[in-house]
Amino acid sequence: MPTYDVAVLGGGPGGYVAAIRAVKRGAKTCCIEADKIGGVCLNVGCIPSKAMLHAGEVFSHIKRAGDYGFSVPGAPSVNGAAYMNRVHGVVDVVRGGVEKLLKARGVDVIRGRGRLVARDALDVKTDAGAQQVMAKAIIVATGSRPARPKFLPFSSGRVWTTDEAFAATALPESVVIMGGGVIGCEFATMYSELGIPTTLIEMLGSVVAQCDDDICKAVHRSLKARGVKVLLGTKVAGMKATAAGVEAQLEGGQTIAASCALVAVGRPPNVEDIGLETVGVKLQDKVIQVDDRCRTSVEGIYAVGDCAETRQYAHLASRMGVVAADQATGHTETRDRRDVVPIGIYTHPEVASVGLTEAEARKAGRKVRVARFFYLASGMARAYGDTEGQVKLIADEELGEILGAVVIGQHATDVIQEIALAMRQELTVEELAGTIHPHPTFVEGVMEAAEAWLGVPVHAAT
């Protein structure tokens, strides 16, 4: 019976990072994974979606070649099989790199489905049979899965979740997307940029409704500009598979036909049948309860990522993995409030945010001042030929404390990190404005917005 200092249940971005960190802290560590190393992010999430989105951006640039002084004979077209083959190749390479990294670091990877049977023991079902693993500390990193509403005809093969969409060997002829959250909007961007007729259905009154209002408007505007038919405040009452694809019946009687449907209506955490109830780990709203040290209600058991957080971001899972591994190996000074978490949506334009939205800051009773710098005034944006976007700072009017920020436009997901670091280190808007930024860059828009907030803008409109 193998015995470890740390056993990690799950090999996604929270789990494999936790395992490597534990080894670097001197612990004998194993990582138990029933499926593919890399979890959702690497295999059916972040990596394949970004490969698809970048390819779509390249296709858009080819169509705009004349704007840059190039002549492209004929109209560009998409080879769906080659397009998806590249996506799969990117995933294979990245996953192979993570597997080699785990091996090089000395993590024992156990292929099988693990289940907690005691505070310090897991049963693992492998192809070779069952085995028990003992560990002084256990880190649960079981992730999440796509929701599959029972009224939808998944057995037809015409209704996909992200799992099937990323595994596909060809592109759909047309698509109806259920869900206007981050995943739904990214897929609508991917498909529409390739010229695929796309309808997006969202039951709420806005796409990406959890975001700052400026982001909601920018994403909606972007989708419509790319020809996406966006139906807000609309519910799918039923769906049937046909010889040609699917027909979605909407409340109110309208029918939408497409060659396939993509369902992106949430991701339940994987907390069932892993033994949590056996050892007494507490849940809240089907998510494992953890504190700022990723400790569960049971001493010696930690949890990270989608199974322990409602904000399902790979980078948050990885940071939690670091915290949990440090705690499990006696480095108890490592902790995290998890209140400064930058997020990105990789539509075109990209959008990103950190901290409070403007509405949340005002609702919290803060005296808020907002300042913006628009990409129209950015030399780098002009050089790129893409001036859509802005940097928006949300700060306390009296203290200059940065409460939140929004970035819309090229490289938004890179630019937001400077503001996240400033918030993490409790810097003020004035300190942002006083930091020399390289020129020309997109990130200098942060300095420009900070100067506008202080009332001394150089390039920003007052």
Largest CA distance in the chain: 69
DSSP string for residues in 72-105? -SS-----HHHHHHHHHHHHHHHHHHHHHHHHHH
Taking the C-alpha atoms of residue 403 and residue 393, their distance in angstroms, rounded to an integer, is 8
Q: Do 119 and 301 contact (CB within 8 A), yes or no? A: yes
What 8-state DSSP symbol labels residue 274? S
Query: Does residue 120 share a domain with residue 15?
Result: yes
160: containing domain: 154-263
Query: Does residue 111 share a domain with residue 50?
Result: yes
- CA 388 to chain CA mean position, Å: 23
Query: Does residue 219 share a domain with residue 277?
Result: no
- Domain at 171, CATH number: 3.50.50.60
Q: How far is CA 74 from CA 68, 129, 165, 298, in A?
A: 17, 58, 30, 64
Is 333 inside any structural domain?
Answer: no
Using DSSP bridges, classify how beta strands 175-178 and 198-202 pair: parallel, antiparallel or unpaired: parallel
Number of domains into which the chain is organized: 3
Is 338 inside any structural domain?
Answer: no
Residue 337: the pLDDT is 85
Query: Does residue 390 share a domain with residue 299?
Result: no
Domain boundary among the residues 280, 295, 328 is at 328
Q: Do 431 and 422 contact (CB within 8 A), yes or no? A: yes
Query: Does residue 273 share a domain with residue 259?
Result: no
- Residue carrying the six token digits 């957080």: 309
Query: Does residue 122 share a domain with residue 200?
Result: no
For residue 73, is it left (φ>0), alpha (ψ between -120 and 50) or beta?
beta
Give the bridge partners for 301, in sequence order. 138
Structure-block tokens of residue 55: 């390819």
Taking the C-alpha atoms of residue 179 and residue 198, their distance in angstroms, rounded to an integer, is 13
Query: Does residue 396 share a domain with residue 305?
Result: no
Taking the C-alpha atoms of residue 321 and residue 380, their distance in angstroms, rounded to an integer, is 37
Query: Does residue 438 share a domain with residue 293?
Result: no
Is 211 inside any structural domain?
Answer: yes
Is 343 inside any structural domain?
Answer: no
Is 342 inside any structural domain?
Answer: no
Residue 462: the pLDDT is 55
What stretches of 172-221 adopt beta strand conformation (E)? 175-178, 198-202
Listed as ranges, residues in the chain with pLDDT below 70 are 461-462
Please write the tens of the pLDDT for every residue from 405-457.
999 999 999 999 999 999 999 999 999 999 999 999 999 999 999 999 999 99
Taking the C-alpha atoms of residue 208 and residue 138, their distance in angstroms, rounded to an integer, is 35
Structure-block tokens of residue 137: 């500390």
Is 340 inside any structural domain?
Answer: no
Domain boundary among the residues 219, 236, 263 is at 263
Query: Does residue 279 share a domain with residue 240?
Result: no
Query: Does residue 183 share a domain with residue 83?
Result: no
Query: Does residue 175 share a domain with residue 120?
Result: no
- Enumerate the active-site residues: 439
Q: Do 175 and 80 contact (CB within 8 A), yes or no? A: no
Taking the C-alpha atoms of residue 193 and residue 223, their distance in angstroms, rounded to an integer, is 9
- Domain at 385, CATH number: 3.30.390.30
Is 8 inside any structural domain?
Answer: yes
Is 339 inside any structural domain?
Answer: no
Domain boundary among the residues 263, 281, 309 is at 263
Residue 67 CB burial class (10 angstroms; 0-12, 13-18, ≥19): exposed
